[in-house]
């Protein structure tokens, strides 16, 4: 029996990229139809993979960066996240092949990385 590990899937998108420009250029009725198709596909993806979803996550809002100089508002490509369970990173990545985030919606990609244990002292 294989040991399962947690993996963080980060959804990436670009508000100024060509995929978003094409999405915005769609006639409103067509865009709304694609939004409905995308949400139905997303819910279908969740239903299909619910046994391995640890945290469904969700969309991400505006970002604040905190560093030695203080707090600033920034932009980045992070648009959402999900945490899944899988035996390997490859198995986790395969869960997201043809995901509605980029197959229907104007998302750019999904990146999957292992959630590592916190080192002990």
Q: Is the dihedral of CA 11, 16, 21, 23 positive or negative?
A: positive
pLDDT, one tens digit per residue, over 65-100 is 999 999 999 999 999 999 999 999 999 999 999 999
Q: Is 114 within 8 Å of 5 (Cβ atoms)?
A: yes
pLDDT, one tens digit per residue, over 102-112 is 999 999 999 99
pLDDT, one tens digit per residue, over 38-59 is 999 999 999 999 999 999 999 9
Q: Given 3.30.70.1060, 3.30.1330.10, 3.40.50.300, 3.30.365.10, which CATH number is that of 5-114?
A: 3.30.70.1060
Q: Is 4 within 8 Å of 85 (Cβ atoms)?
A: yes
Q: Domain map of the chain by residue range?
A: 5-114
Strand 5-12 to 70-74 pairing = unpaired
C-alpha 47/C-alpha 62 separation (Å) is 28
| Percent over 90 (pLDDT), the chain | 90
Beta-carbon contacts of residue 45 (< 8 Å; ≥ 6 apart): 99, 100
Residue 1 in this model has a pLDDT that exceeds 70: no
Confidence (pLDDT) at 121: 83
């Amino acid at each position: 029996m294989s040991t399962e590990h947690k993996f963080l899937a980060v959804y990436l998108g670009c508000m100024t990229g060509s995929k978003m420009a094409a999405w915005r250029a769609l006639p409103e009725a067509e865009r709304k139809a694609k939004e409905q198709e995308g949400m139905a596909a997303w819910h279908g993806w969740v239903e299909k993979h619910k046994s391995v979803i640890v945290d469904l996550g969700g969309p991400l809002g505006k970002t604040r960066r905190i560093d030695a100089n203080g707090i600033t508002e920034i932009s980045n490509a992070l648009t959402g996240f999900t945490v899944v369970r899988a035996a390997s990173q490859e198995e986790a990545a395969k869960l997201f092949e043809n995901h509605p985030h980029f197959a229907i919606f104007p998302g750019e990609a999904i990146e999957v990385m292992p959630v590592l244990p916190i080192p002990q002292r």
